[in-house]
Amino acid sequence: LSTLTGIDGIEETGLRAQKRGRPPSLTDVQIVAAVLRLVAETRFEDVSMRAVANELGTSVMTLYNYVPSKDALHDLVANHVLRPVRVPGPEEGTWEERICQLERDARRALAAHPGMSLPGSRGAAPQESVRLAEGVLSILAGGGFEPDEAALIFATIYTFVTGQLEVDAMQAKGGQLEATLAGVMEPARLTREETFEFGLDAIIEGLKAKIGTQRSRRRSQRRRSRS
Amino acid sequence: LSTLTGIDGIEETGLRAQKRGRPPSLTDVQIVAAVLRLVAETRFEDVSMRAVANELGTSVMTLYNYVPSKDALHDLVANHVLRPVRVPGPEEGTWEERICQLERDARRALAAHPGMSLPGSRGAAPQESVRLAEGVLSILAGGGFEPDEAALIFATIYTFVTGQLEVDAMQAKGGQLEATLAGVMEPARLTREETFEFGLDAIIEGLKAKIGTQRSRRRSQRRRSRS
DNA sequence: ACCTGAACACCGTTCAAGT
DNA sequence: ACCTGAACACCGTTCAAGT
């Protein structure tokens, strides 16, 4: 599934399956690879369509034959980056373990390309991020949570991971705030990975505790209203 | 301090204190107000310098007499938005309460202008966000945490709030991901405020628990190494 | 069917001249 | 000291013509 290393590099998605006419000279994989190469050095927003075309050795307008807009180009790349992230199945542990693994994978995949903006931050939602979101919700449903409990848990975790990626990006860009804080936070010396693991763990711990007290409160309310 | 409503509207910061020569025709407050008016309808990135100048009734280049670049303009506005947020003092409750209040205020201030990008996401760190970050760290220091504990707590909370703002912005822009998820998360019907309060609470709960177990583990390690 | 140069309507920012 | 139009070097995207 979705190797970026295919040397022949022909027909990744197969979605553009036409028979007659001049064969395409570019592949989705090639385009994605070119963008990721450029995005390793600046943010996606600072990569121009002209630069991508140049990296591919074609003209800008050739690029527009494969992708209708820059937003669509972003989605193409974001989907490619997120595609390898799996949704762990029910046999792979408790809901906590499965969610942790999914989020860890997703973050690792995205953090490998800090120049890419967050999947949801542009208009369209890349289908892969929708797939993962639905994966988390289904894990929670399997964990025996009520829909509104699942929604709260999902939102909290989603928010945390989003923030983590935002901070990853800030740091990769050498933001001044990060520098200032790094000074203040001496001598903690925490890896981004460490704060992620710690934070995710703490959040899940806290969520379980809060849901528990919410439930017992509701139960006692029910008992009270019955008497 | 920093009222946006001053009618005479002269000399906000006083930093540009010159005596001779033509007096300035614009105020920082006026500029900030103009940007916030425009930013209510689109993202800051989509507001052009020309549009700001137009909103102010001057030419673009007049604007450049007050602000050296668009980034500087962003900082000017971000600082203005964050200035009213106070760092609660030691007499205003436990460290949890004080941090919750600060973060709640900060989020409310920023969420009122969802078009503004996050304070740290551009290059320079607005001084006001540095002030608040240092405020949180000092509250934690006062709460009796070791520097590395404080760093972990700070990073987790900072990350969560950043994510919350990012999600606020996505939703304000009517992102498709939000729409899709809204469908899946029916019928929870959660306000952004509700998920924020719930999440922040859960996180602080989880952080306290995790720090506690970390400490007792360290204590038992010390005991073991002594024997 | 795919490729492509030229052009359009924008950007942020610099220059050089006005008062 | 402050103001300003014109110009520069870019954008993303459209057009119209090539093969």
Residue B15: the pLDDT is 47
With a pLDDT cut of 90, the percent of chain A lying above it is 57
Helix (H) / strand (E) element for B113: namely none
- B91: DSSP letter: G
Does the structure show a pLDDT above 90 at A89?
A: yes
- A42 contacts in B (CB within 8 Å)? none
> pLDDT (tens digit, 9 = 90+) per residue, A200-226?
999 999 999 999 888 888 778 777 777
CA count, 13 A, side-chain hemisphere, B15? 6
B205, closest residue in chain A (CA to CA): A206
Whether residue B162 and residue A162 make contact (CB cut-off 8 A), yes or no, is yes
Scan for tokens 């553009």, then name that residue: A16
Cα B128 to Cα B53, B120, B125: the distances in Å are 25, 11, 8
Alpha-carbon torsion, ordered A212, A216, A219, A221, to 10 deg: -130
Mean pLDDT is lowest, of A10-14, A30-34, B129-133, for A10-14
Q: CB distance from B166 to chain A under 8 Å?
A: yes
Residue B10: the pLDDT is 33
Residues A215 and A218: their CA atoms lie apart, in Å, by 5
Task: Using CB atoms within 10 Å of the CB of residue A148, give its burial: 0 to 12 exposed, 13 to 18 middle, 19+ buried.
Answer: middle
Closest CA to B203 of B147, B163, B145: B163
> pLDDT (tens digit, 9 = 90+) per residue, A37-57?
999 999 999 999 999 999 999
> pLDDT (tens digit, 9 = 90+) per residue, B44-57?
999 999 999 999 99
Chain D nucleotides near the protein (CB, 7 A): 1-6, 10-16, 19
Helices then strands (H, E): number in chain B?
Answer: 9, 0
Closest CA to B47 of B56, B55, B38, B36: B38
Structure tokens at A74: 């972003």
Does residue A23 have a cis peptide bond before it, meaning omega lies within 30 degrees of 0? no
pTM: 0.87
Q: How far is the CA of B38 from the C1' of D1 (A)?
A: 29
**Model confidence at A167, in pLDDT bands (50, 70, 90)?**
confident
Residue A22: the pLDDT is 75
Mean pLDDT is lowest, of A12-16, A38-42, A139-143, B126-130, for A12-16
- A50 CB less than 7 Å from any atom of strand C: no
- B147 contacts in A (CB within 8 Å)? 185-188
Amino acid at A50: R
Structure tokens at A5: 């290393």
Residue B167: the pLDDT is 85
- Alpha-helical (H) ranges within chain A are 28-39, 49-56, 60-63, 70-82, 95-111, 127-142, 147-172, 176-185, 192-226
Mean pLDDT is lowest, of A8-22, B23-37, B167-181, B190-204, for A8-22
Whether residue A210 and residue B198 make contact (CB cut-off 8 A), yes or no, is yes
> pLDDT (tens digit, 9 = 90+) per residue, B152-198?
899 899 999 998 998 888 877 766 666 666 665 655 577 888 889 99
- Mean pLDDT, rounded, for A20-24: 73
Residues A177 and B151: their CA atoms lie apart, in Å, by 15
Structure tokens at B51: 């549009």
Residue A5: the pLDDT is 34
- A188 CB less than 7 Å from any atom of strand C: no
Residue B205: the pLDDT is 96
Mean pLDDT is lowest, of A19-28, B3-12, B89-98, B214-223, for B3-12
- Higher pLDDT pick, A84 / B14: A84
**Model confidence at A75, in pLDDT bands (50, 70, 90)?**
very high
- Higher pLDDT pick, A29 / A12: A29
Whether residue A180 and residue B210 make contact (CB cut-off 8 A), yes or no, is no
B117, closest residue in chain A (CA to CA): A121
> pLDDT (tens digit, 9 = 90+) per residue, B108-141?
999 999 999 887 777 677 889 989 999 999 999 9
A213 CA to chain B: closest CA distance, Å?
11
Q: How far is the CA of A16 from the C1' of C1 (A)?
A: 12
